[in-house]
Structure 1
Amino acid sequence: MTLLRAAGIGLSFGSRTLFDDLTFTIEEGERVGLVGVNGSGKSTLMKLLAGAQPPDNGELQLQRGTRVVYLPQEPTFLEGATVASELSVARPGLREAIEAHQELSRRLAVAPAAEQEKLLARLAELADRVDRLGGWDSEHEARTLLDRLGVKDWERPISELSGGLRKRVAIARALLARPDLLLLDEPTNHLDADTVDWLEDALDQLPGSLLLVTHDRYFLDDLVDRIVEIEPGKGLTSYPGNYQAYVEQKMVALEQAELAQHKRERWIAQEVAWLRQGVEARRTKSKSRIDRAQKLMAEKGFVRPKVADLQILSAPRLGGVVIEAEHVGKRFGDRSVLKDVNFILQRGERVGIVGPNGVGKTTFLRTVLGELEPDEGTVIVGKNTRVAYYDQQRARLDPELTVYEAAWDEEWVTIGDRRQHLREYLEDLLFPVPMQRMQVKALSGGERNRLLLARLFLEGANVLVLDEPTNDLDIVTLNVLERLLLGFGGSVLLVTHDRYFLDKVATSILSFEGDGKVVRYEGSYETYRSLKAQSEAARAKAEKVSAAAPVKEAPKPEAAKPAQKRKLGYKEQRELEGMEATIEAAEERKAGLEAQLADPAVFSQASKVAALQAELDAASSEVERLYARWQELQELA
């Protein structure tokens, strides 16, 4: 059954027509991903469907009683709102039912006997309504959601929160509402990779329909069953299946369109040759054929969509030392952000940096780049190392400059053996001349990202340090950036929450795990997830074994006998005598495995790394078990 239907929608901004006679439907239980290049109208369509933007013409039809919740890229809150007040009204119907039940319970306690039967019946109805709307402990559910999203202050005013924390509160509010239709516009922005994993699971379990705009391709692969693409000037095209299915269908459609265009061009060439035969020849031919030929030539043929032509200027070859950090520590007040961090970036490596927000990823980048002085340890930068740094705040773009002025400091650029004017270079990056005259502050987030990347790639750097470069980029541009980094001859340090991007690009992962701890995992993001899961499982098992170790208490005294403590048996005495040597051997094995994993020759052998890590986890668990057993025997002795 159709849940939402937009029919004949039209919308223009000045002379630009964004939608013309657009029709779009969402069925009950359907999960839809909305894709398209930056500026194609994805966010505007979401606003139209949510009722936040009225169309110029057309109508929006909702199934009766449908509850719609819309989460924009930049969520809004009531003035003076706190975290608690926003989440308490996430499900107003539930809140009203709970409050009505509480009020009726107070009345029942003092009501005359004649009214009690009627009040009890009403109380039962309210209790049933509360159950249907999601239960009694909504505050506990809200606090649990916030804790998982990394928001700790229940009573804190929304106005005091950062943009990232405001987005997390809005996500919690949307999940608590349990709507029939949830509209999410880039929900993964400002979230770390682990939280994105969690959100994906939460949305997968959410009842109702979903319309999703995101550049996270794993999200689209795992959550949606239909992809709808917005193409400027062409409207909407629907593709059944997830993102991978969409890519395959899109490629087939492009190939077929190109084949049809090739046949069309051949036919036009034949008709043009026929038309040139002269007036007498044309008189013998059908006038309808002449009309068809002229009509076909007047039509706009198929043109493959343009993509941003990002390119990197060639750079000097890196030396033996690129960037090295030795025992680096960094504190802010009493808080240690980095503790004894050792890191080596080698030529050709692409290191992905992951971890929760606020654990020190950006601090680490600024420290190894020399913008911050370490409190302990040293940072060594090779003499041939030339760094281009992309900061997630885009501070290097002056918002008051025009796009042309901000793009580069000279009128000509040379990439490879091609020298071209800056205006032409910008046109290749999908900044036409009218847009080049715009101020940077008028650009969308994705357009600013593309402009800053284009500027950085002209600097001739052999080390790219990129802090959240994927935010706001459309999927097409992400694919271009992936290919560019894969073909880059230098080294890359990359902070991003985009799991798909990390899987494609990273050769190793640097995991920031809190309390200043940093762990390196060789291989892709999926390898990192697997190794980290194994390590956490082994640690949990060791803790369980340690917790399950019997704690011996002195027996309670009997009436006529003093308490007696059990002594070690013969086998236990022998076990204790040999325990020191056993622990020493286990620790030597653990140290040997750690040394093998630290060997650079092993870095490129992902399967060997995985096997060694599994062995190391098992060896660590064995050491912990032996120490727990030794302590138990010591207590008995």
Structure 2
Amino acid sequence: MSLINVTNLTFAYDGSYDNIFEDVSFQLDTDWKLGFTGRNGRGKTTFLNLLQGKYEFQGTISANVSFEYFPFQIEDRAKLTEHIVSDIVPDYLHWMLMRELSLLKVSEDVLYRPFDSLSNGEQTKVMLAALFLKENSFLLIDEPTNHLDIHARKIVSQYLNSKSGFILVSHDRAFLDRCVDHILSINKTNIDIQRGNFSDWWENKQRQDNYELAENEKLKKDVKRLSEAAKRTSNWSDEVEKTKNGTRNSGSKVDKGYVGHKAAKMMKRSKSIEQRQQSAIDEKSQLLRNVEKADQLKIKQLPYHNRLLAEFDHVSIYYGEKKVTSDLTFTIEQGERIALSGQNGSGKSSIIKLLCGEDIPHTGTLRKGSQLKISYVSQDTSHLQGNLTDYARAHGIDESLFKSILRKLDFARVQFEKDIASFSGGQKKKVLLAKSLCESAHLHIWDEPLNFIDVISRMQIEELLLEYAPTILFVEHDSEFCKNIATKVVNL
């Protein structure tokens, strides 16, 4: 066991006035299985880069271990997979690699195929196997679940649960629960470490948030009551002071000493109330600093003139000679939330593209309702660039509504001035989702919408879909999301 000590860490990117981290200190144990969570853009990947010494920063990070980062940068993906592994771990032992691949349910034959011919899931598993061949290192695992299907996520989580000595960035609640024993969370104003899995951390966070919200309401009432009392006492003091130069109603002369004493007593009481009020205000200011704002999202889907929007009738899809989807039959009806489920390579994205009007080789019949308007969110965010104002205009959506949705998804206003290309992966995905929520459509089609999206935003999107019940066809490998949202599952 050894410790990683972070002391008074302060960091901002060159040219930015916003500190990502400001004077933060904490300690990590290198034997932990550490889940790393926080809203998009808070600095999770930045912190992993700081551990690797990629940026200059103020403060200190001390550790007696080396750091290894996943995913690896692979220059030539056309090389054989075994050569890719050799590039990553030059002195690896074959039997040790086979042990790791076996744990990950990957067959040996993948080693003798070009790396780029492997599925996304196979590539992820091979890189994880290579990562855990690196001994005496603390491993930094950045979002390994993206593009892994539900079955592969279970295998990888079981694999990670058998290991120790890593930081794992993931937004999949069920995945984190299966393989971590501590949570490192980047909050709005601090960094927090707790023992337990994600559900334990989330339960503690909700309990703390609810306590602070209740205390805040109580103190708000106290501040208002004390403010009104201080104002009344101050007014009484002023009125009494005015009578020093007047006369009593009976016409007798006013006892100025008595009146002055009474006024001073009231003023003292007023000052005491003001001090209690300030104390309540100070206490109130310590609350709610880390309560995450998750305003309700809205979606206004167009009504369609027919109950049935689309129908797949014995549809088979082909890649060249290979049949990837066979004899698929299902309908899409108004109000349904349909999850397309299946392993990577089973044709989910092809079905979506066919429904969106792309020319995909197929047999069978796809019937779509006339004048059916579809809003589509793709997996790919690599094309996003330019500023948000130009993006909204180019896609014919209301700019103020678009930015309002992004604000609700935890975008700071300063982000609105930046190039979308500089956004984090999760922020880019939120741009696509916000665009889709702005579009007038009869049917929403979302292909892996939650890749890179933080947990709290996932919950916001769940609430949106449950409240407004739009017609939606989606592919998503977050098992918790699918369980909560899908009214129908189409298994491929």
TM score, norm. by length of structure 2: 0.80
In 2, the alpha carbon distance for the partners of 1:430 and 1:83 equals 40
Q: Which residue of 1 aligns with 2:385?
A: 399
Which secondary structure does the structure 1 equivalent of 2:376 belong to? strand
1:57 paired residue among 39, 56, 59: 59
Question: What is the letter of the counterpart of residue 364 of structure 1?
Answer: I
Question: What is the letter of the counterpart of residue 215 of structure 2?
Answer: A
Query: Per-residue deviation at 1:433?
Result: 4.2
Q: Is the deviation greater in 148-157 or in 447-456?
A: 148-157
Which whole-Å deviations, capped at 9, do the CAs of 1:222-277 have from their partners, x for residues lacking one? 11222232112x21223332222222211111111012212322332244335434
Q: Does 1:148 align with 2:106?
A: yes
Pairing of 1:104-119 with structure 2 (within 5 A): none
Distance 1:149 1:223, change over 3 A: farther
Pairing of 1:283-322 with structure 2 (within 5 A): 283-285=267-269, 290=274, 293-294=277-278, 297=281, 300=285, 302-303=287-288, 304-307=291-294, 309-317=296-304, 319-322=306-309
> Does the Cα contact within 8 Å between 2:430 and 2:453 map onto a contact in 1?
yes
What RMSD in Å do the two structures reach over aligned CA positions?
3.4
Q: Which residue of 1 aligns with 2:186?
A: 230
Query: Per-residue deviation at 1:436?
Result: 2.5
> Does the Cα contact within 8 Å between 2:443 and 2:472 map onto a contact in 1?
yes
Q: Does 1:461 align with 2:441?
A: yes
Which whole-Å deviations, capped at 9, do the CAs of 1:454-486 have from their partners, x for residues lacking one? 221222323221101010100000011112222
Which whole-Å deviations, capped at 9, do the CAs of 1:578-627 have from their partners, x for residues lacking one? xxxxxxxxxxxxxxxxxxxxxxxxxxxxxxxxxxxxxxxxxxxxxxxxxx
Which secondary structure does the structure 2 equivalent of 1:39 belong to? coil
Which secondary structure does the structure 1 equivalent of 2:201 belong to? helix
Distance 1:483 1:436, change over 3 A: same
Q: Does 1:381 align with 2:368?
A: yes
Question: What is the letter of the counterpart of residue 69 of structure 1?
Answer: E
Pairing of 1:180-329 with structure 2 (within 5 A): 181-206=138-163, 208-232=164-188, 234-276=189-231, 277-278=233-234, 283-285=267-269, 290=274, 293-294=277-278, 297=281, 300=285, 302-303=287-288, 304-307=291-294, 309-317=296-304, 319-329=306-316
In 2, the alpha carbon distance for the partners of 1:147 and 1:252 equals 39
Runs of 5+ in structure 1 lacking a partner?
Answer: 99-135, 414-419, 513-637
Which whole-Å deviations, capped at 9, do the CAs of 1:295-353 have from their partners, x for residues lacking one? 65467353442225432114204623221111223333222233332222233332222
> Does the Cα contact within 8 Å between 1:181 and 1:209 map onto a contact in 2?
yes
Pairing of 1:432-511 with structure 2 (within 5 A): 432-511=412-491
Distance 1:470 1:412, change over 3 A: closer
Structure possessing the higher relative contact order (Cα contacts under 8 Å, 6 or more residues apart):
2
Question: What is the letter of the counterpart of residue 337 of structure 1?
Answer: V
Runs of 5+ in structure 2 lacking a partner?
Answer: 239-262
Distance 1:161 1:55, change over 3 A: farther
Q: Is the deviation greater in 210-219 or in 262-271?
A: 262-271
Q: Which residue of 1 aligns with 2:85?
A: 87
Distance 1:398 1:47, change over 3 A: closer
Identity value in percent:
25
> Does the Cα contact within 8 Å between 1:317 and 1:490 map onto a contact in 2?
no
Q: Does 1:334 align with 2:292?
A: no
Higher gyration radius (CA): 1
Q: Is the deviation greater in 429-438 or in 209-218?
A: 429-438
Q: Which residue of 1 aligns with 2:50?
A: 48
In 1, the alpha carbon distance for the partners of 2:461 and 2:485 equals 10
Which secondary structure does the structure 1 equivalent of 2:459 belong to? helix
In 1, the alpha carbon distance for the partners of 2:76 and 2:357 equals 41
1:352 paired residue among 313, 316, 339: 339
Query: Per-residue deviation at 1:145?
Result: 7.0
Question: What is the letter of the counterpart of residue 223 of structure 1?
Answer: C
Distance 1:294 1:308, change over 3 A: closer
Which secondary structure does the structure 2 equivalent of 1:371 belong to? coil
Distance 1:4 1:291, change over 3 A: same
Distance 1:484 1:424, change over 3 A: closer
Q: Does 1:76 align with 2:73?
A: yes
Which whole-Å deviations, capped at 9, do the CAs of 1:178-203 have from their partners, x for residues lacking one? 55532211111122222211111111
Pairing of 1:99-138 with structure 2 (within 5 A): 137-138=95-96
Which secondary structure does the structure 1 equivalent of 2:110 belong to? coil
Which secondary structure does the structure 1 equivalent of 2:19 belong to? strand
Q: Which residue of 1 aligns with 2:41?
A: 39
Query: Per-residue deviation at 1:290?
Result: 5.0
Distance 1:150 1:453, change over 3 A: farther
In 2, the alpha carbon distance for the partners of 1:345 and 1:410 equals 27
Query: Per-residue deviation at 1:448?
Result: 1.9
> Does the Cα contact within 8 Å between 1:318 and 1:490 map onto a contact in 2?
no
Q: Does 1:3 align with 2:25?
A: no
Distance 1:292 1:340, change over 3 A: same
Q: Which residue of 1 aligns with 2:24?
A: 22
Distance 1:482 1:40, change over 3 A: same
Which whole-Å deviations, capped at 9, do the CAs of 1:111-139 have from their partners, x for residues lacking one? xxxxxxxxxxxxxxxxxxxxxxxxx6235
Query: Per-residue deviation at 1:370?
Result: 2.6
Distance 1:333 1:421, change over 3 A: closer
Q: Which residue of 2 aligns with 1:615?
A: none
Which secondary structure does the structure 2 equivalent of 1:380 belong to? strand
In 2, the alpha carbon distance for the partners of 1:310 and 1:266 equals 29
Distance 1:231 1:490, change over 3 A: closer
Q: Does 1:362 align with 2:362?
A: no
Hey, which bits of structure 1, 4+ residues long, moved more than 6 A?
78-81, 160-165, 286-289
Question: What is the letter of the counterpart of residue 241 of structure 1?
Answer: G
Query: Per-residue deviation at 1:361?
Result: 1.4
> Does the Cα contact within 8 Å between 1:50 and 1:183 map onto a contact in 2?
no
Which secondary structure does the structure 2 equivalent of 1:17 belong to? coil
Question: What is the letter of the counterpart of residue 247 of structure 1?
Answer: W
> Does the Cα contact within 8 Å between 1:467 and 1:495 map onto a contact in 2?
yes
Q: Is the deviation greater in 21-30 or in 184-193?
A: 21-30
Alignment: residue pair count: 456
> Does the Cα contact within 8 Å between 1:351 and 1:494 map onto a contact in 2?
yes
Distance 1:353 1:151, change over 3 A: farther
Which secondary structure does the structure 2 equivalent of 1:177 belong to? coil
